[in-house]
Amino acid sequence: MNGAVNSMDDLSPGELDDFRRDVRAWLEANCPDSMRTPASDEDEVVWGGSQVSFKTEDHRLWFERMRDKGWFTPQWPTEYGGGGLSSEQAGILAREMARLHCRQPQINLGIWMLGPVLLEFGTQEQKQTHLPPMARGEVRWCQGFSEPNAGSDLASLQMKAVPDGDDFIVTGSKIWTSHADKSDAIYTLVRTDPEAKKQEGISFLLIDMASPGITTKPIELISGKSHFCEVFFDQVRVPQKNLVGELNSGWTVAKRLMQHERQAMAHLGDEGQSPYSLADMAKQYLGCRAAEAGAADSDATEIADAVMRDRVAALDMDDMAYKLTLRRAAEEIAAGDDALATTSTFKYYSTELEKRKNEALMAILGTRALGWDGGLSDEAGGSFTADELAVTRGWLSSKVMSIGGGTTEIQLNVIAKRVLGLPSADDSA
Ligand SMILES: Cc1cc2nc3c(=O)[nH]c(=O)nc-3n(C[C@H](O)[C@H](O)[C@H](O)COP(=O)(O)OP(=O)(O)OC[C@H]3O[C@@H](n4cnc5c(N)ncnc54)[C@H](O)[C@@H]3O)c2cc1C
């Protein structure tokens, strides 16, 4: 569902089977074994862009092989460096990658969010300039939407862009800009008509982070790792050809982009989801016993603690039901339905489910999940393992997922109004 933007003639079931066979064989031959495990830490994740770096040779190989297939962007047209796959083929590729537990070869906000809106709203020149480098993982984009007084109420943003010859002069600041200090470019919302109704005076502008007048300042996070920045724009000159969509129509472009953002977050991917199996962790930390007679596998074991067994089983069922629902949505997109309309539902459910799973992991590990950088005293059982430290950080990080991309409360408002059609306070005005 990564930007369902390309259309191809329907393939017959036989052709899709052939495609599945080819994909499976290619992945088996080309995905290095070490790339068939979840990324356990931030430095295991490859971010595209001019500063791309690879922790191991396998990371580099996997990145380059997928790039050369055009499979960073499987559904983008080949003329822009994409794989040219239909939705059905892209679904097969995603499922075959999941079957082998292949990691995403790179993460790039440009691909998830900006690319699909450029395909929809961009000029031919913008598509030719920006999409191919994105599809090759050469340019890293960040998102400059939020401002100190414009988060949930994004349309209150104040950063202004004033026309000056062939350029705009941009002045103001953005906050919570993820990875701004490592990005090559930023897509922003700017105020271009201060007199208009707030949504109607906003434009969508692409800005090169190397432009004179831009400074970034990292912000520390509770998890101990900082990817947030403040970005300051001091009279930054930006070519008018970098305007996406019409002047003062940026809100329409932004709403579409946020749908793609929520869709991407609903998927979470290997990097967003806890890589730990709740059942395995519970057996390891709380003990296990032989499964009751009649289990399909006679060697099977089950979590010894009955209360935790129920909790893990319920979470596993919710997880499975969610993944099946996602798959159904992918198939509906393939059949032409506009599943983007329900992205808030997916974003809401997946981020809340991830928080519940992380809470269960904390309960399973007990004091072993209270590690930070230092070790534990011997009475408490010695130093923390890397997995235990990762669980602690994962639990903290899971909290932010229900804030970024629009908070849980905002998703519930959107679901109430746009999905369920319930009246809102605005309607009574
Ligand atoms: C991990 C992460 C990554 C992020 N990355 C980026 C990024 O790259 N670029 C970017 O521009 N921004 C980014 N953000 C910022 C994010 O978009 C904002 O934090 C978010 O929109 C909330 O805005 P706020 O922090 O100003 O909170 P506020 O809007 O001040 O909200 C505070 C609280 O009030 C509640 N609330 C507000 N309005 C309503 C309402 N109408 N009804 C009910 N409840 C309401 C909210 O749900 C929240 O609980 C990121 C945030 C996180 C956590």
pLDDT in tens, the chain (429 residues): 344 444 445 788 899 999 999 999 999 999 999 999 877 667 788 999 999 999 999 999 999 999 999 999 999 999 999 999 998 898 899 889 988 989 899 988 899 899 999 999 999 999 999 999 999 999 999 999 999 999 999 999 999 999 999 999 999 999 999 999 999 999 999 999 999 999 999 999 999 999 999 999 999 876 666 789 999 999 999 999 999 999 999 999 999 999 888 877 776 443 456 678 899 999 999 998 887 766 666 668 889 999 999 999 999 999 999 888 887 876 776 565 565 567 888 889 999 999 999 999 999 999 999 887 655 544 555 688 888 888 888 898 888 889 988 899 999 998 998 888 998 766 543
Q: What's residue 317's pLDDT?
A: 96
Task: Please report, as a single letter, which amino acid is at residue 101.
Answer: H
Whether 348 is in the pocket of ligand 1, judged by its Cβ within 6 Å, is no
Distance from the alpha carbon of residue 410 to the mean position of ligand 1, in angstroms: 9
Whether 291 is in the pocket of ligand 1, judged by its Cβ within 6 Å, is no
CB-side neighbour CA atoms (13 Å) of 303: 19
Q: What's residue 425's pLDDT?
A: 66
Q: Is 394 in a helix, a strand, or coil?
A: helix
CATH of 141-255 among 2.30.30.700, 3.30.56.10, 3.30.70.270, 2.40.110.10: 2.40.110.10
Whether 146 is in the pocket of ligand 1, judged by its Cβ within 6 Å, is yes
Whether 406 is in the pocket of ligand 1, judged by its Cβ within 6 Å, is yes
Instruction: Please give the DSSP secondary-structure letter assigned to residue 201.
Output: G
Q: What's residue 315's pLDDT?
A: 96
Residue 418: which residues within 8 A CB-CB, separation 6 or more? 341, 344
Q: What's residue 11's pLDDT?
A: 83
Whether 145 is in the pocket of ligand 1, judged by its Cβ within 6 Å, is yes
What is the fold, at CATH topology level, of the domain defined by 273-428?
A: Butyryl-CoA Dehydrogenase, subunit A; domain 3 (1.20.140)
Tokens of 350: 């997946």
Q: Is the Cβ–Cβ distance between 245 and 126 less than 8 Å? A: no
Distance from C-alpha of 151 to C-alpha of 327, rounded to nearest angstrom: 31
Distance from the alpha carbon of residue 152 to the mean position of ligand 1, in angstroms: 5
Distance from the alpha carbon of residue 90 to the mean position of ligand 1, in angstroms: 32
Q: What's residue 286's pLDDT?
A: 93
Whether 56 is in the pocket of ligand 1, judged by its Cβ within 6 Å, is no
Q: Is the Cβ–Cβ distance between 236 and 207 less than 8 Å? A: yes
How many helices, marked H, and strands, marked E, lie in the chain? 13, 10
What is the fold, at CATH topology level, of the domain defined by 13-135?
A: Butyryl-Coa Dehydrogenase, subunit A; domain 1 (1.10.540)
CA nearest neighbour of 182 among 258, 103, 109: 109
Whether 15 is in the pocket of ligand 1, judged by its Cβ within 6 Å, is no
Map out the domains of the chain as residue ranges. 13-135, 141-255, 273-428
Distance from the alpha carbon of residue 406 to the mean position of ligand 1, in angstroms: 5
Distance from the alpha carbon of residue 409 to the mean position of ligand 1, in angstroms: 10
Q: Is the Cβ–Cβ distance between 143 and 228 less than 8 Å? A: no
Distance from C-alpha of 277 to C-alpha of 284, rounded to nearest angstrom: 11
Beta strand segments in 88-227, E: 141-144, 160-164, 167-174, 185-191, 202-208, 214-219
User: Which of 113, 140, 145, 146 maximizes ligand 1 atoms within 8 Å of its Cβ, making it the mutation to test the pocket?
Assistant: 146
Q: Is the Cβ–Cβ distance between 223 and 213 less than 8 Å? A: no
Whether 362 is in the pocket of ligand 1, judged by its Cβ within 6 Å, is no
Distance from C-alpha of 133 to C-alpha of 118, rounded to nearest angstrom: 13
Q: Identify the residue whose C-alpha is closest to ligand 1 atom 53.
A: 404
Distance from C-alpha of 237 to C-alpha of 248, rounded to nearest angstrom: 18
Q: Identify the residue whose C-alpha is closest to ligand 1 atom 30.
A: 151
Q: Is 41 in a helix, a strand, or coil?
A: coil
Whether 413 is in the pocket of ligand 1, judged by its Cβ within 6 Å, is yes
Whether 176 is in the pocket of ligand 1, judged by its Cβ within 6 Å, is yes
Distance from C-alpha of 120 to C-alpha of 260, rounded to nearest angstrom: 12
Q: What's residue 429's pLDDT?
A: 37
